[in-house]
Chains A and B, each alone.
Chain A
Amino acid sequence: MSGVEPGLPEMDDAVRTAFRRLLLSLADSKRILGIRYSDWLLGAPSIEAGIAASSMAQDEWGHARLLYASLKDFGDDPVALEHDRQAAEYASMEALDAPFDDWARVIAGAVVVDGALAVALRAVAEGGYEPIEGRISKMLGEEAFHRSLAEAWFRRLAGSEEGARRLKGAVEEWLAPTLRVLAPDDQGHRALVAAGLTGSAAELRARFAERISPLLELLSVDMPEPLGLDDWDEGRGRGPGHPAEEAVERARGDLNRALFVE
């Protein structure tokens, strides 16, 4: 990474590396989340729910594109980030590695993953990194609708035995790894906190807990501790593994590369 653009806030190398990691993690998560939502355009419980999933997919892809574009300021080529990386290079959250198999997992993903992304984005906006501050406030406006949909559906599914069982399975699987990505408390994250670019690990976890605890209570699920850092991939800001190849092929648009013009 080189070539700080004129007019951009000054950062030392450790902070730049950590901030780039955070923005790429957000962008990749939003891109893959968009794919996971788009799978439910057809097959959702109602036409309206399918349209909402499609709309959320479009929002996530739009947000991802803006975040990838913002990485130009860190010496990246956004086109290469979007179209040339292998699955193992993706920094998206672990909960998104496999498709959402049923509607309960779509809703659990919207609560846990989309919720954590919204908390992380708000913290970045509050950190005052000017080049993307304004864009994030528009994203958060759209995210308010995702939250309304997710919470309404979560409450509804939690009201039936089968719905609650499925939600619980997904939530218990995803909470600990998602908390770790949201607030890893590693060297990189601490560098960002010291630079005032995001909230402390404790603060981010508290905000996330405040947001989703009323929903977890419906399932009698307690907020777990985040996973430890033993198998933490510090470079990508996530645990081992990667999104399924098929999702990455779609994210890159492999089948249409012959037509790719930009």
Chain B
Amino acid sequence: MDEIIYDVFTRKSRGDTLTHVGYLTAPDEAMARVYAWTTYDEENWFEMCIVPRSAIIPVNRTDGPFAAASHEVSA
């Protein structure tokens, strides 16, 4: 199965900062939405959203989970 990594962001109340709470793997967006809701259900979230990790563009790091090679810029 081709699994895609999605990062999960939530805020507990309106006006709170959107916070990265974790990630999950799923084959597509429809399943990722359900998995996010059922996996990260420890709070009664005001808002939850997911982002495919491949869409996250690193700005200052070349290591770590978000540093996809395709975004690296050589000096």
In the complex, the answer to whether B1 meets A48 with C-beta atoms within 8 Å is no
User: Contacts A51-B39, A55-B41: A46 and B25 contacting too (C-beta < 8 A)?
Assistant: yes
- Interface of chain B residues 16 through 48 with chain A (CB within 8 A): 24-28, 30-31, 33-35, 37-39, 41
Q: How far is the CA of A49 from the CA of B31 in the complex (A)?
A: 9
Chain A residue at minimum C-beta to C-beta distance from B34: A149
Evaluate whether A149 and B39 lie within 8 angstroms (CB atoms) in the complex, with A48-B24, A48-B26 already known: no
Q: Does A158 contact B (CB under 8 A)?
A: no
Q: Is the CB of B38 within 8 A of A152?
A: no
Number of A-B pairs, beta carbon distance below 8 Å? 43
* Chain B interface size range: 10 to 19
* Band of interface residues on A: 10 to 19
The reply to whether B30 and A151 contact each other, CB–CB distance below 8 Å, is yes
Within the assembled complex, what's the spacing in Å between the Cα atoms of A54 and B39? 10
Q: Which residues of B contact A55 (CB under 8 A)?
A: 37-38, 41
Tell me whether B37 and A48 are in contact (CB under 8 A): no
With A45-B1, A46-B25 already in contact, the answer to whether A52 and B35 are too (CB < 8 A) is yes
A48-B39, A51-B39, A55-B41 given; A148·B25 CB < 8 A: no
Which residue of A is nearest B32, CB measured? A48
Nearest A residue (CB) for B41:
A55
Asked if A145 meets B1 with Cβ closer than 8 Å, knowing A46-B25, A55-B41, the reply is no
Residues of B within 8 A of A145 (CB): 34, 37-38
Residues of B within 8 A of A46 (CB): 1, 3, 25-26
- Kindly state the separation between the CA atoms of A54 and B34 in the bound complex, as whole angstroms: 12
Asked whether, in the complex, the Cβ of A148 is within 8 Å of the Cβ of B1, the reply is no
Which chain A residues (115-159) contact chain B, with CB distance < 8 Å?
145, 148-149, 151-153, 156
Give the nearest-CB partner of A155 in chain B. B30
> Are A156 and B27 neighbours in the complex by a CB distance under 8 Å?
yes
Cβ B27 vs Cβ A148 within 8 A:
no
Inter-subunit contact B28/A152 (CB<8 Å): yes
Of B24, B34, B39, B41, which one neighbours A148 at CB under 8 angstroms?
B34
Closest 6 pairs (CB-CB, A-B): A55-B38, A152-B30, A48-B35, A149-B34, A52-B38, A152-B31
